[in-house]
Structure 1
Amino acid sequence: MSTPTDTLRIDIWSDVVCPWCYIGKRRLESALDRFEHADAVEIHWHSFQLDPAHPKGHRRPVFETLAQKVGAPIAQVRTMTRQITELAAAEGLTYDLERAVSVNTIDAHRLSHLAAAHGLGDRMHERLLRAHLVEGEIVDDPDTLVRLGVEVGVPEDEIRRTLDSDEYEDAVQADFAEARGYGATGVPFFVINRAYGLSGAQPVDTFLSALRTAHADTARATS
């Protein structure tokens, strides 16, 4: 059993429409299942936008967005995304990117901050990732966000008040700034104990090694 001084903090920057982020989340969870001191781990989610310039209110099928971005026909984009769908399946995730819709994720991130204030940050981020990548939900739609938030236990009246205001906008922007401070240009991005950075959906063994190294260093520092 770990003592309070052995606590490991994991900060994770992620976007709720990021297919690699959901894979990275599952791989980290698999590593934690094997980590001897998982009871001492605290996870903190942070906001990041893959496409902050995406106009608010503009919705477009993900395959159309990717086709324009890479300058390739949609048929080629389907082939390109097949690998990530297969990698997700290996982690128990059933992606349906054919149904996924590109949106601006700022309101989803504000909802995530509200959920975190209720101790529901991890559950909220999980629900939003699943909604977009597996279920084809429109994660900038206010009614959808209210329903998803209520599902994980966030009070409905607080969700509606938040979405009708600019509440948590400053916190979201602070997350973006902190990511830039770490030099993160993409997600998922993981920082263990403010010292060990891991970029991308790393293999489970890589996460486990980093967790063990960070724990050993913490134990030495507090002994």
Structure 2
Amino acid sequence: MTTTPAASTPDVLEPAASGATNPVKIDVWSDIACPWCYVGKRRLETALSQPGAPDVEIEYHSFELSPDTPVDFEGTAADFLSAHKGMPLPQVEQMLEQMTQLAAAEGLDYHFDDVHQTKTLAAHELLHLAKAHGLQAEMKERLLRAYFVEGQHVGRVDTLVELAAEVGLDADEVRTALADHTYADAVQADIAQARAFGINGVPFYVVEGRYGVSGAQSPETFTHVLETVVAERSGAGTTADAAQ
């Protein structure tokens, strides 16, 4: 887990053509062990709940913040961050308390004392399987809640199978896919694409293949980007900066 803060205004990426009546495509690079990713998810959902918000299609992409994390890390989330970032434990504990309060403002009940720090590779493979069955959004939400709110060990196959079954995936298919690493190449393709885009931290949002939004931005920022995209589709907008 890392605690990369919300940061930066949107960047303009390479243009991408899109039909005026199609949903706005939002590609999200994130990690289920990233507290800002869950906060960013809620803030985007707030923006999308506003009157006049466009229809969107959201696709989640894999990004491992700490790929060297063992599946069974011995210690707390604070212990991990203290060692990982080289910060004093009291400072990390204060940072996590601030993160807990920030998450609470978005309706999220974080319990960092219960978090099982773990490698998230298998969870990313599961998200690709869920995408193949049209259940990626449900699986993403379930994994985030299991990790940050419920303190479940999402690095273990048995836990992932149970969570997947809850959202409607076949338990036997999930267990086989994880054992065979069926979606390992898809995960690595996501990570390679992140590198190509210059993504160094998450959450990172790419809207219509054109606007890159870094960090758990405010609902107002997301709304402004979406309004810009819709205006450009109708010919009423420009390709100027998406948010100030």
Which bin holds the TM-score, normalised by the shorter protein? over 0.9
In the alignment of these two chains, the number of paired residues is 218
Distance 1:71 1:174 in 2: 30
**Match for 1:107 among 122, 133, 143?**
122
Give the 5 Å matches for 1:1-223.
5-34=21-50, 36-38=52-54, 40-220=55-235
Shift of 1:60: 3.9
Q: Secondary structure at the match of 1:11?
A: strand
TM-score by length of 1: 0.93
Distance 1:60 1:218 in 2: 50
Q: Is the contact made by 1:6 and 1:215 (CA closer than 8 Å) also made in structure 2? A: no
Give 5+ residue unaligned stretches, structure 2: 1-18, 237-244
Q: Which moved more, 1:5-14 or 1:25-34?
A: 5-14
Q: Deviations over 1:64-119 (max 9, x none)?
A: 10111233343331111111111100000000011112111000000111111111
Distance 2:117 2:153 in 1: 8
TM-score by length of 2: 0.85
The Cα RMSD (Å) is 1.6
**Structure-2 change in CA distance of 1:141 and 1:36 (3 Å):** same
Shift of 1:172: 0.3
Give 5+ residue unaligned stretches, structure 1: none
The residue type equivalent to 1:30 in the other structure is T
Q: Deviations over 1:35-88 (max 9, x none)?
A: 5143x2100011101111223454542111011123334333111111111110
Distance 1:66 1:135 in 2: 20
Distance 1:151 1:108 in 2: 15
Q: Is the contact made by 2:47 and 2:53 (CA closer than 8 Å) also made in structure 1? A: no
Distance 1:113 1:98 in 2: 29
**Structure-2 change in CA distance of 1:59 and 1:155 (3 Å):** farther
